[in-house]
Amino acid sequence: MSKIYRVNMTEKKVTVEDVPEKYAQLGGRSLTSKVVFDEVPANCHPLGPNNKIVIAPGILAGTAAPSSGRISVGGKSPLTGGIKEANAGTPTAQRLGRLQVKAIIVEGLATDGAYLLKLNNDGAELVPADDLKDKLTSEINKQLFEQYGEKIGIMTIGVTGDYKMGMAGVCFNDAEGRASRYSGRGGLGAVLGSKGLKAMVVDDAGAPGVEIKDKDLFKQGQKKMVEALRTHDVTKPGGALNSFGTAVLVNILNEAGGYPTRNFSDGKFEGAQPTSGEAIAEAVQKRGGGMMGHGCHPGCVIRCSNVYPNEDGTEMTSAVEYESTWALGANCGIDNLDDIAMLVHLCNEIGVDTIEAGVTIGVAMDVGVVPFGDGKAAIQLMDEIRRGTPLGRILGNGAWFTGKAYGTTRVPTVKRQGMPAYEPRAVKGIGVTYITSTQGADHTAGYTIAPEILSVGGQVDPLSPEGKVELSKAFQATTAFIDASGYCLFIAFAILDIPTGMEGMVETVNAVLGTDWKPEDVAPLGMEVLKDELLFNKNAGFTKEDDRPPEFMRYEKLPPHNQVFDIPDEELDKIWADVLK
Amino acid sequence: MSKIYRVNMTEKKVTVEDVPEKYAQLGGRSLTSKVVFDEVPANCHPLGPNNKIVIAPGILAGTAAPSSGRISVGGKSPLTGGIKEANAGTPTAQRLGRLQVKAIIVEGLATDGAYLLKLNNDGAELVPADDLKDKLTSEINKQLFEQYGEKIGIMTIGVTGDYKMGMAGVCFNDAEGRASRYSGRGGLGAVLGSKGLKAMVVDDAGAPGVEIKDKDLFKQGQKKMVEALRTHDVTKPGGALNSFGTAVLVNILNEAGGYPTRNFSDGKFEGAQPTSGEAIAEAVQKRGGGMMGHGCHPGCVIRCSNVYPNEDGTEMTSAVEYESTWALGANCGIDNLDDIAMLVHLCNEIGVDTIEAGVTIGVAMDVGVVPFGDGKAAIQLMDEIRRGTPLGRILGNGAWFTGKAYGTTRVPTVKRQGMPAYEPRAVKGIGVTYITSTQGADHTAGYTIAPEILSVGGQVDPLSPEGKVELSKAFQATTAFIDASGYCLFIAFAILDIPTGMEGMVETVNAVLGTDWKPEDVAPLGMEVLKDELLFNKNAGFTKEDDRPPEFMRYEKLPPHNQVFDIPDEELDKIWADVLK
């Protein structure tokens, strides 16, 4: 039977609770957001005793549904000050699912050092873990695998979490045990750091497995989903994502003039090609020691991750994703792929979100801390963060914070979270998502890039402001459901274009939960999640003035299209008008 | 005839405008807040082209009304993100009044260097002033007096304004020309820095003087006010303020257990006596070279300022006020008065608000950047700010920013502005003022210390939460009127206890404006100012969640009374409920 673990860090006590009826049909994001809404006072200090961290595997995590090994981490964000859900693909999600762990709720504060949560089929306990402090995440994973066996899942935070920095993420292991899969955004690693929960090991030996209420329906849905993923050009084996990784988008966005360059001062980067997915694949092929088509967890059909090699054919890091190669590349004017990959590696090692890191370094370069394009200098900046120097404290708290430290207006953030790799002035639907998402600037919250750039799920003009509010809203609602399901967001390509894919998603979820949802229920169910998040943010003091682009994007024209962000505030305000009266 | 100067920094153009009818009865704070409300988009970036700085002498500034040489500076605050009015006592207020300058509105941004505004009876112009950059404020004043003559008024910003730091104030000269009188709070120096307006010189040779519509009424009111100030124990010559300066409050607040110590962790400071007004007076007497009973501008009856001497009898700084000796003393655990005075001096020299500086250093000490009590280390921190090092960038952006950099919850701020020298857990009315003021934590916004501690204007129990919302509201409304009048807030003692003092205030204002206001109109007129400010803040995205004490004051008991801040949120929300529906 599913259960909730409640971990009180103040008292060092773990209790097991039945899952309340109201949480029975929730999982992943729908569960973390609901628990945060129910239990966290919206106006609490994110690093104080009243914030909580909620960890929940997606509904299907641990089942044989393809690409469904996602885990959500939720809480009040020290970066945005609002609600946060950040999810990652990791075998740990699957282990928790198989253990029938619906959620882990971490509350209170340990003031006497760092702790490790050991969780297995017999229960869970906290043990002291001061020895894990000041270590790189790869060292932590190595030590924990040695100590607790190879067949465990690991969650940890890096030194930046101990420092309680706003860009600290929550790190999970990948399929081979690397400390490389991140619930990266919004600084939830800092919240774990404030609570003194340094790591968790999950041993699922003897686990009962996910309870599936309708096994036949599950098989039927699973088959449809596998088929859809294997058919769609974007997600199929040997397709775009599988062959070149997510960084296949680099040349596409650059071509569209929507590839933010040198702190969002240009939409095209002259160094796009040498830092693209194609270039990554070429390095892997030439050098050996790397891998394209890497899966972050077993059972993934898409396998869009990679392992990037050093020049000598040894492994450098995993994974050089689109967002990472952009944030630490074009956005910093850096066109040396080895430097970029090293920056990704350092982010993983010290536990920070690569997007926030890159956006922050871009701002720092814009104000002259180090020059644009200087990859070695950027690597030095990462070391400042690792050491927690004053400069590291500035950078480690993100782009908004860094912009404020240096008094610049050119700060590409919404709700204090750095913007991802799509220029809102050139791709306006994603701009609406950045601006209106409950999460702060976040492309995954409503990935309108699909119809705006990739002609998936329709085709719309990226430069046009028309209809983008409605488009983003629809994507945001559907996404919230996917983020609850445990499926990777990349199934969206297949379910948008292939009706049986959508059926497969809903049927697998119904099979596990015993629900009878239809494809047309997906968006309304997602809206329920967004409502919890919107109301939490409202209670935390957010208003429509927080749903605004950075002012400079209203008056600074972006080359090559020479566009400003021209969707009026009043249009933006319509998006949640029915929820936030 | 009164006029408004409009200074466009983008175009380097100064235009002169008639005073619109709607501004005719305004001055000081009522005018700066009205213009900011009318002209500044509430959601603009405080350091961007759309923010403005409004400089307005009080209604009576330049007249012979006693203690009426106040000047207001207004704009959107980079520290709080809300509206800001910060006022100072300076002969420059009087010179502008005599020139019949109702306001100076500074708009746009100069991106090609620093400028000086020259203003005299013939008009105003901008001249390049890059040579003033990187100078201490005393050096700037010295240079400008040499260049433009001794009989000018000066406004300037320090290097911290050039750095656009959140604690940068706006500096005016005192009666002898020192760069020592500050519109300190809320970072308006950073706004001037962003605009490139480094300084202003005001030459009032040939000025027509303040137009007084009813000279007899003026004389009558002036006489009443002088009489009241000379009678009241707090304000009279040889009285508490005149003999010991504002720091006469040190022992009084310490005795009451309401003197915040070591970053608001105690209500009593063992080093109170050696850092009190009495100790300052003793040093002045023993060493020579200093002065008690110093007036910040000619025509002040109260004369509560001082000049603090070095051990060898040379001048060190002016002035060691109550707020400064507390912020840089008890709040940092520093009990060496010479160190404190040196810290005040350095604040003046680099252009920062002493309150924000002390609250910030207190936070930095609390997280271990340097030890509590180490005055020499604090002096080093000021040097980090002066040099704009990364640590200086953290500290220079204030207490809230510093707390965030180091991930602590013990940050005594409201709306990101540091709390002044009264503990809200021990003096709850002033706590309500801090929490609900449009200005962020600000004791001058509604100085309930009068009845709570000094038995002026009544007598109420400081520890009781009862009636404090109403008390603070009444004080805030009256204060807004006084801040418009040009009178120093310290006339409040005399007008609260002596009815003819109140009459004197109203009559002098009526005499200048030609109005027919009565003492009972004062609070409603002040409420009109607060309404503009509250609506601006609302438009900027403020909600009742911004009218909250720091969370730690809700659960951390303050010695010696072992009290938390126990006025419920719902009570706090009543204060502006009639304005903010």
Per-residue pLDDT tens listing for chain A (581 residues): 899 999 999 999 999 999 999 999 999 999 999 999 999 999 999 999 999 999 999 999 999 999 999 999 999 999 999 999 999 999 999 999 999 999 999 999 999 999 999 999 999 999 999 999 999 999 999 999 999 999 999 999 999 999 999 999 999 999 999 999 999 999 999 999 999 999 999 999 999 999 999 999 999 999 999 999 999 999 999 999 999 999 999 999 999 999 999 999 999 999 999 999 999 999 999 999 999 999 999 999 999 999 999 999 999 999 999 999 999 999 999 999 999 999 999 999 999 999 999 999 999 999 999 999 999 999 999 999 999 999 999 999 999 999 999 999 999 999 999 999 999 999 999 999 999 999 999 999 999 999 999 999 999 999 999 999 999 999 999 999 999 999 999 999 999 999 999 999 999 999 999 999 999 999 999 999 999 999 999 999 999 999 999 999 999 999 999 999 999 999 999 999 999 87
Show residues of chain B in contact with A397, CB under 8 Å.
Answer: 404-405
Residue A541 near chain B (CB below 8 Å): yes
- What single-letter amino acid sits at A316? M
Q: How many CB atoms lie within 10 A of CB B531?
A: 18
Hey, is the C-beta of B410 within 8 angstroms of any chain A C-beta? no
What is the rounded average pLDDT of the residues B150-169? 98
Please list every residue in chain A whose beta carbon sits closer than 8 Å to the beta carbon of residue B401: 401, 404-405
Q: Identify whether B114 is preceded by a cis peptide bond (ω within 30 of 0).
A: no
Residues A227-252 as b or e (16 or more Cβ within 10 Å = b): bbbbebebbbeebbbbbbbbbbbbbb
Tell me the shortest Cα–Cα distance from A339 to chain B, in angstroms. 25
Q: Which residues of A touch B546 (CB under 8 A)?
A: 541
Comparing alpha-carbon positions, the chain B residue that sits nearest to A400 is B401
Residue B271 confidence (pLDDT) above 80: yes
CA distance A164 to chain B (A): 5
- Best mutation target among B44, B404, B542 (most A Cβ atoms within 10 Å) is B404
Q: For chains A and B, what is the number of CB pairs under 8 angstroms?
A: 96
B450 Cα to chain A: minimum distance (Å): 32
In chain B, pLDDT over 70 holds for what percent of residues?
100
Q: Confirm if A70 and A483 have CB atoms less than 8 A apart.
A: yes
Whole-angstrom distance, CA of residue A65 vs CA of residue A356: 31
Any B CB within 8 A of A25 CB: no
Q: Identify whether the C-beta of residue B80 lies closer than 8 Å to the C-beta of residue B445.
A: no
Angle between helix A337-350 and A375-387 (nearest 10)? 10
Interchain CB contact of B42 with A (< 8 Å) = yes
Integer Cα distance of A580 and A567 in angstroms: 20
Give the torsion sign (CA, B441, B444, B448, B454). Answer: positive
Q: Tell me whether residues B405 and A401 touch, CB distance under 8 A.
A: yes
Inter-residue contact A45 to B551 (CB < 8 Å): yes
Contacts of A548 in chain B (CB under 8 A): 43
User: Which candidate in B165, B191, B402, B409 is best for mutational testing of the A interface (most A CBs within 10 A)?
Assistant: B409
Cβ–Cβ below 8 Å for A394 and B405? yes
Smallest Cβ–Cβ distance between A541 and the set B193, B543, B550 belongs to: B543
Rounded to the nearest angstrom, the minimum Cα separation between A541 and chain B is: 5
- B546 and A CB contact within 8 Å: yes
Residues 6 or more apart in contact with residue B20 via CB below 8 angstroms: none
Query: What pLDDT, in 10s, does the model give residues B320-370?
Result: 999 999 999 999 999 999 999 999 999 999 999 999 999 999 999 999 999
Chain B hits for A363, CB-CB cut-off 8 Å, are: none
A210: Cβ contacts below 8 Å, ≥ 6 apart: A60, A61, A62, A63, A97, A98, A100, A512
Query: What local confidence, expressed as pLDDT, does residue B1 receive?
Result: 87
Is B55 within 8 Å of A417 (Cβ atoms)? no
In sequence order, which residues have a C-beta less than 8 Å from that of residue B284 and are 6 or more positions away?
B290, B291, B292, B306, B307, B308, B309
Cβ <8 Å between B397 and A405: yes
Question: Chain B contacts of A45, Cβ < 8 Å?
Answer: 409, 550-552
Shortest distance, CA A323 to any CA of chain B (angstroms): 26
B543 CB neighbours in chain A (<8 A) are 541, 543
Query: Using one digit for the tens of pLDDT, what is the confidence trace for B22-35?
Result: 999 999 999 999 99
Q: How far apart are CA B558 and CA B265, in angstroms?
A: 6
Residue type, A492: A
Nearest by Cα to A334 from A261, A265, A264: A261
Helix (H, G, I), strand (E, B) or coil at A316: strand
Find out whether B245 and B275 touch, Cβ atoms under 8 Å: no
Q: Within an 8 Å CB–CB cutoff, is residue A12 touching chain B?
A: no
pLDDT at B581: 74
**Cross-chain residue pair A48–B539, CB shorter than 8 Å:** no
Q: Which residue of B has its CA nearest to A48?
A: B409
Q: What pLDDT does residue B81 have?
A: 98
Q: Can you give the pLDDT at residue A258?
A: 98
User: Please, where are the H alpha helices in B490-551?
Assistant: 491-497, 499-513, 522-539
Residue B80 contacts A where some CB pair is shorter than 8 Å: no
Would the CB atoms of A405 and B401 count as touching at under 8 Å? yes
* A407 contact B CB<8A: yes
For residue A59, the number of C-alpha atoms closer than 13 Å in the C-beta half-sphere is 29
At A1 the pLDDT is: 87
- Whether omega before B41 lies within 30 degrees of 0, making that bond cis, reads no
ipTM of model: 0.97
Mean per-residue pLDDT, B113-121: 98
Contact A409 B45 (CB under 8 A): yes
How many whole angstroms separate alpha carbon B18 and alpha carbon B5? 9
DSSP-assigned beta bridge partners for residue B74: B54, B85
In order of their start, the domains of chain A are 3-203 (3.60.9.10), 247-423 (1.10.569.10), 426-497+518-581 (1.10.599.10)
pLDDT, position B241: 96
Measured CA to CA in angstroms, residue B345 lies from A92, A129, B310 at distances of 58, 47, 11
Given CB atoms, is B164 within the 8 Å cutoff of chain A? yes
Asked if A45 has any chain B CB less than 8 Å from its own CB, the reply is yes
Question: Which residues from chain A sit within 8 angstroms of residue B542, using beta carbons?
Answer: 541
Calpha distance A414→B541 (Å, rounded): 14
B406 interfaces chain A, CB cutoff of 8 Å:
yes
pLDDT of B289 strictly over 90: yes
Q: Is A429 on the interface with B (CB under 8 A)?
A: no
Residues 548-567 of A with CB under 8 A from B: 548, 550-552, 555
Dump the DSSP string for B204-238: -TT------S-HHHHHHHHHHHHHHHHHSTTTSTT
Label residue B147 by pLDDT band (50, 70, 90).
Answer: very high
Q: How far does B183 lie from chain A, in Å, by closest CA?
A: 20
